[in-house]
Structure 1
Amino acid sequence: MTARRRIRRPAIALASLAIGTTGVLVLAGCAGGGAAADGGDGVSIVATTTQVGDFTRELVGGEAKVTQLLGPGQSAHGFDPSAAQLAAIAGADALVVNGAGLEGWVDDAIAASGFDGRLIDASTGIELFGTHDHDHDHGDEGADEGDAHADESAEEHADHDHGDAAEESHDGHDHSGGNPHIWTAPGLAEQMVENIADGLAEVPGLDAAAIGANETAYSAKLEALDAWIEQNVSQVPVADRLLVTNHDAFTYFVEAYDLTFVGSVIPSFDDNAEPSAAEIDELVKKIRETGVKAVFSEGSISPKAAETIAKEAGVAVYSGEDALYGDALGAEGTDGATYLGSQEHNVRLILESWGVVPSELPAVLQK
């Protein structure tokens, strides 16, 4: 299996970015090593989410200052950049975004800040799933249909400077039907890393060869992680690979490893939404009927509703330190401080809920 695996379901072609509503954003300055705080050669990079911030730091090492807009545990579904945050964007040589419509505020922020550096969209070339593309059986017929559709391939979008990005993001590219949580599948995370590396290699002042070497090393870890997850998940019969989470954030993980997504506490991509009483009752009914053994909360969302539903359904709940890392990575010192650590954490807990003890991590992933 390769990290370039195509997800086997109908997909929505990816565009660049989309404008959305704004909320609250907290600025967190993050450095990628000892020299990063000084900016290396003076190159300044802004990354939006915790995931793309982590990927970017892995790629640049200590060559540049990386400012991460979202802090640990903060959801990326709605922001309103402050003057200081707009100033950070304005002074950046590059802006790295998750893309896929996740940062609906970004076009307005770019316009307001006057940013004229390189916009790097980590979602370039990745096909998006709609709301219920993961609600399916995993029969061969469905897989074949999905493979045929995937072979049609999404249009490749080259990284571009902001002057082109603003026009492209406004010209009819609607991501409202696509799930933006693409990083949850390590194979797609590797594609995101490749996209970021390609964009950074074009930023004046950065060493393209060094970035390429860092990409190779980090991609090897992502491939090892992917193989480790598949090896362990394969111990569980497909019919027993059931998952219930706080919100609909794990679509691509579910598809990559043939899980059945029974439902989510918040039936939406957006963790700001709230479930109705009828939706809660329906989820409790599904949990009882399917034999789900646990409900997983997520670190960036209040666990109260998940705990209530688990109690009513008579199953375990994973919350607090045992919550999954979904929309955001965790604080320094937690299992989810890095992307690799967050994935290992999530998989171990999911396997535990199925009664499986995971195998030892590959040497390249051991700390």
Structure 2
Amino acid sequence: MRRRHAEFRRPLAPIAGVAMLAAGALALTGCAATAASGDGADGGAKIVATTTQVGDFTRELVGDGAEVTQLLSAGQSAHGFDPSAAQLLALTEADALVVNGAGLESWLDDAVQASGFDGELIDASSGIELFGTDDHEAHADEGAEEEAHADEAEEHGEEEEHADDEHAEGNPHIWTDPELAEHMVENIAHGLAAVPGIDSATVEANESAYLDKLTALDDWIEENVATVPVEQRLLVTNHDAFTYFVAAYDLTFVGSVIPGFDDNAEPSAAEIDELVVKIRETGVKAVFSEASISPEAAETIATESGVKVYSGEDALYGDSLGAAGTDGETYLGSQEHNARLILESWGVEPSALPAVLQG
């Protein structure tokens, strides 16, 4: 099993709630009847989670012990999200707010201030070093330097701090690496332990069981990818959302249809032409669309390049998990789906899933 990152350290204290909120919260009169997205037990903890990924992690941890309201829907991107009045009311009443962090939720500060939220803020990205938005080849070297820095700081009893502005400059798609997903789950579990009404013993037991599944998933992907020669591990996606997956399993990221990690951007004609050339020169065999993005541009590029396009039910789950009943309904299912299709594009039939992931 790989362990490329420095040993993960949980925060020494629960992440503090948002302080000094705006004095005048947004008026939400009349929204109470439509605010809740679940029927949690009266008196139980109310948790709001922002993205589909952290929503899934949170539900895995709390089980039926808390009401979890997820702001983003399946297939919805966090880039440019605008919460509704009902969602702001849910945030007003929340005991805790679980966020992806890493600069992904650019709209979060305004939502927190408008709602008057004063509960526990749990940042799933805490302690995770971010890659830059480009230069994939430099990631391995950057990671080594960061590990050395972290080890040195630990030896001197220093706690690393990560400024919000630094996180905002990095690629926020940390969940695409299952090992980093483990760290996210640990952060969430640790933060939930400080929330009144949460059964910490249940969270701890669920955390242990879920981490076992994430480790098994990571090992399964690594073992199957290892059957492919490094020079053949080529990937082209809709947008730059798989940086951490690429680094985790030693893939070569040839390029993306949208040149960046914001899926709201549009590629120029010159950028499309450049990607077509790269695909032809490198021998890429497929272009992957993503479930939360229109496949039109990816299909055009694949046609011009003469390669297969994976779209529709065969699209990857990047910024968002999928709807109920799809392969991407859960984080584990989405990662298995993505890995299977990428391996298939390289001509590999994946091995059977570990027993802990079956059923």
Question: What TM-score, normalized to structure 2?
Answer: 0.87
Deviations 1:185-223 (A, max 9, x none): 000000000000000011011111110110000000000
Deviation at 1:288, TM superposition (A): 0.2
Question: Would the aligned equivalents of 1:29 and 1:68 in 2 still touch at CA under 8 Å?
Answer: no
Counterpart check, 1:208 vs 2:200: yes
Are 2:212 and 1:217 equivalent residues in the alignment? Answer: no
User: Which one of 295, 302, 307 corresponds to residue 294 of structure 2?
Assistant: 302
Corresponding residue of 2:27: none
Corresponding residue number in structure 2 for 1:126: 128
Equivalent in the alignment of 2:348 = 356
Residue pairs, 1:48-59, within 5 angstroms: 48-59=50-61
**Amino acid of the structure 1 residue aligned with 2:111:** A
Give the Å deviation of 1:148.
3.2
Deviation digits for residues 92-119 of structure 1 (CA, Å, limit 9, x no counterpart):
0000000000001111111111000000
Aligned to 2:339: 347
Residues 40/235 of structure 1: CA separation in 2 closer, same or farther (3 Å cut): farther
| Equivalent position of 2:19 in the other structure | none
| Residues 1:194 and 2:186 aligned together | yes
Question: Structure 1 counterpart of 2:83, which letter?
Answer: P
Unaligned runs of 5+ in 2: 7-14, 17-33, 154-158
Quick one: which amino acid aligns to residue 6 of structure 1? H
Q: Is residue 169 of structure 2 the alignment partner of residue 177 of structure 1?
A: yes
Aligned to 2:28: none
Q: Does 1:272 align with 2:286?
A: no
- TM-superposed CA distance for 1:131, in Å, is 1.6
Aligned CA distance change for structure 1 residues 157 and 203 (closer, same or farther; 3 Å): farther
What's the counterpart of residue 9 of structure 2?
none
State the match for 1:248 in structure 2. Answer: 240
Distance in 1 between the 2:78 and 2:121 partners? 18
Shift of residue 341, structure 1, vs aligned partner: 0.1
2:146 counterpart of 1:149:
yes
Deviations 1:32-85 (A, max 9, x none): xxxxx3336421000000000000000000000000000010011112222211
1:139-159: CA deviation from partner (whole Å, max 9, x where unpaired): xxx84664233321395459x
Unaligned runs of 5+ in 1: 8-14, 17-26, 32-36, 137-141, 159-167
Instruction: Provide the residue aligned with 1:260 in structure 2.
Output: 252
Q: Does structure 2 retain, via aligned residues, the 8 Å contact 1:43–1:205?
A: yes
C-alpha distance 65-145 of structure 1, shift in aligned 2 (>3 A): closer
For this pair of structures, how many residues does the alignment match? Answer: 327
Q: In structure 1, how many angstroms separate the alpha carbons of the residues matched to 2:116 and 2:43?
A: 23
d(CA) in 1 for partners of 2:284, 2:340: 17
TM-superposed deviation, 1:29: 6.3
Aligned residue number for residue 319 of structure 1: 311
Task: Tell me the distance in 1 between the aligned counterparts of 2:160 and 2:56.
Answer: 24
Equivalent-residue separation in structure 1 for 2:35 and 2:118 (angstroms): 22
CA separation in 1, counterparts of 2:141 and 2:240? 25
Alignment partners' CA distance in 2, 1:197 and 1:28: 25
Match of 1:288 in 2: 280
CA distance in 2, matches of 1:288, 1:39: 57
Match of residue 22 from structure 1? none
For residues 143 and 44 of structure 1, what CA distance do their matches in structure 2 show? 40
* 1:151 partner amino acid: A
Change (3 A) 1:29 1:128: farther
Find the aligned partners of 2:183 and 2:252 in 1 and give their Cα distance: 24
The residue matched to 1:336 in structure 2 has which SS? helix
For residues 147 and 130 of structure 2, the distance between their equivalents in structure 1, rounded to whole angstroms, comes to 11
The offset of 1:30, in angstroms, is: 5.6
SS at match of 1:152: helix
* Cα contact 2:35–2:87 (8 A) shared by 1: no
* Residue of structure 1 in register with 2:47 after alignment: 45
Alpha-carbon displacement from aligned partner over 1:266-286 (angstroms, at most 9, x marks no partner): 001100000000000000000
Aligned partners of 2:183 and 2:120: how far apart in 1? 19
1:95 aligns with 2:97: yes
**Alpha-carbon distance in structure 1 between the residues aligned to 2:218 and 2:37:** 27
Amino acid in structure 1 at the alignment position of 2:77: S
Hey, which bits of structure 1, 4+ residues long, moved more than 6 A? none
Quick check: 1:70 aligned with 2:72? Answer: yes
> Aligned runs of 1:155-166 on 2, under 5 Å?
156=160
Contact 1:43 1:64 in 2 (8 A): yes
Shift of 1:175: 3.5
- Say if 1:28 and 1:68, in contact at 8 Å, map to a contact too: no
CA distance in 1, matches of 2:263, 2:320: 12
TM-score using structure 1 length? 0.85
Partners of 1:211 and 1:352 in 2: CA distance: 36
Q: Give the drift of 1:318.
A: 0.1
The answer to whether residue 4 in structure 2 is matched with residue 5 in structure 1 is yes
Match of 1:331 in 2: 323
2:35–2:86 Cα contact (<8 Å) kept: no
CA contact (8 A) 2:239 2:263 kept: yes
Comparing 79-88 with 328-337, which one deviates more in the overlay?
Answer: 79-88
Is residue 197–residue 212 contact of structure 1 (8 Å, CA) maintained in 2?
yes
Is 2:120–2:195's contact at 8 Å kept on the other side of the alignment?
yes
